[in-house]
Amino acid sequence: MLEIKDLSLAIQHQETATMAVKNIALTISKGRVLGLVGESGCGKTLTAQAVLRLGEYQGIERVNGDILWHGESVFDMSDKRLRAMRGGQVAMIFQEPMTALNPVFSIGSQMVEVIRLHLGLSKSQAKEHAIHYLKDVGLDEAEELLNQYPDSLSGGMRQRVLIAMAMSLHPECIIADEPTTALDVSVQKRIIALLRKLQKENNLGMLLVTHDFGLVAEMCDDVVVMYAGEVVESGSVLDIFDHPAHPYTQALMGCRPEMVKEGESLTVIEGQVPAPGTWPKGCHFSPRCSRASEACQIKAIAANAWQDSGHQARCIHVQEQA
Ligand SMILES: Nc1ncnc2c1ncn2[C@@H]1O[C@H](COP(=O)(O)OP(=O)(O)O)[C@@H](O)[C@H]1O
Ligand SMILES: [Mg+2]
């Protein structure tokens, strides 16, 4: 239902445009969870936000490619159509819930307003609806909660409120950008269990941005690994865990997928992700790659340089190791 096709995005700053995300392709189907993984600064958030055209407010522009929602280009949508899609059909859950909550309005007034806007319910119906969904995410004192302000809630409760808000609009797809990174480990586990339950019960499509392979193993059906603005590997979760092909994926997983336990983060790789505008020629990962040869540094490597049915890697050395 959601297809990102060959998407490239640039950051506009004064007179210059710097390529930040290049030729991204991924598909999310009903009932399936796609994990978008990579270190910080690889372009995951830019990609995720492009689906709802949220980057446009920060000077991010489409250079080429398209994003199709049920076959319709989001870039061709009118403002009205886009507003209906945002939240109503595709919900977004952010890393920091406060970015999506307004501190000066009570939880109740914020929820009632979006519910009325999207579902056209009366005020009292919308309130009942909000209470139902708050209880559904485990917030038992929902009635009292409606009168509280975001500041008075813990991080875990705020994230539950956002999830309730998202679910109350009956979305078909959820985009969750590091939804638990800002939370305590014990709270993370409960939020993940909740997201998983809601995803399964409602057969939602989901784009889960994360740097946590434990979470990928637990939740995802498909995986796309990004490095420095490009997709370097994509495949099913089994492909990626059983035979990680790209040296970057292998490094992220510590080369030993069986060793990566639930809740564990990615291992640290020497060096840093190059920022947009400083990408090396050829393979973007080559300066940090132990397997890099001269050929890797010369010309751009195709996304499907290596492929085996649905599993693809942007590396010219994969064949040798197979
Ligand atoms: N609005 C912006 N202006 C300038 N640079 C940006 C902007 N948004 C993102 N970037 C840069 O683009 C790169 C990718 O960012 P992002 O998508 O947030 O990465 P990720 O989510 O994978 O950590 C980073 O180097 C970031 O600093
Ligand atoms: Mg991010």
pLDDT beyond 60 at 258: no
Pairing between β-strand 33-37 and β-strand 205-210 as defined by DSSP bridges:
parallel
The HSE-up count of residue 173 (CA atoms within 13 Å, CB side) is 23
Q: Where are the beta strands (DSSP E) in the chain?
A: 2-13, 16-28, 33-37, 60-69, 72-73, 90-93, 173-177, 205-210, 222-227, 230-236, 306-308, 311-313
Task: From 9, 46, 207, 224, give the residue whose CB has the most ligand 1 atoms within 8 Å, as the site to mutate.
Answer: 46
How high is the pLDDT of residue 269?
Answer: 79
Q: Which amino acid residue places its CA nearest to atom 6 of ligand 1?
A: 11
How high is the pLDDT of residue 44?
Answer: 96
2-89+171-321: CATH superfamily: P-loop containing nucleotide triphosphate hydrolases (3.40.50.300)
Mean pLDDT taken over the chain: 91
How high is the pLDDT of residue 17?
Answer: 94
Range 289-317 average pLDDT: 94
- The torsion angles phi and psi of 29, rounded to 5 degrees, stand at -105, 160
Domains of the chain, by residue range, sit at 2-89+171-321
Can you tell me the distance from the alpha carbon of 117 to that of 135, in angstroms, rounded to the nearest whole number?
A: 21
Give me the percent of the chain exceeding a pLDDT of 70.
Answer: 95
pLDDT in tens, 173-207: 999 999 988 788 888 888 888 899 999 999 999 99
How high is the pLDDT of residue 322?
Answer: 47
Residue 264, judged by CB atoms within 10 A of its CB (0-12, 13-18, 19+), counts as middle
Q: Which amino acid residue places its CA nearest to atom 16 of ligand 1?
A: 43
pLDDT beyond 50 at 106: yes
Non-local (6+) Cβ contacts of 125 within 8 A are none
Can you tell me the distance from the alpha carbon of 100 to that of 298, in angstroms, rounded to the nearest whole number?
A: 43
Ligand 1 neighbour 38 (Cβ under 6 A): yes
How high is the pLDDT of residue 176?
Answer: 95
Separation of CA 183 and ligand 2 centre (Å): 15
Ligand 1 neighbour 274 (Cβ under 6 A): no
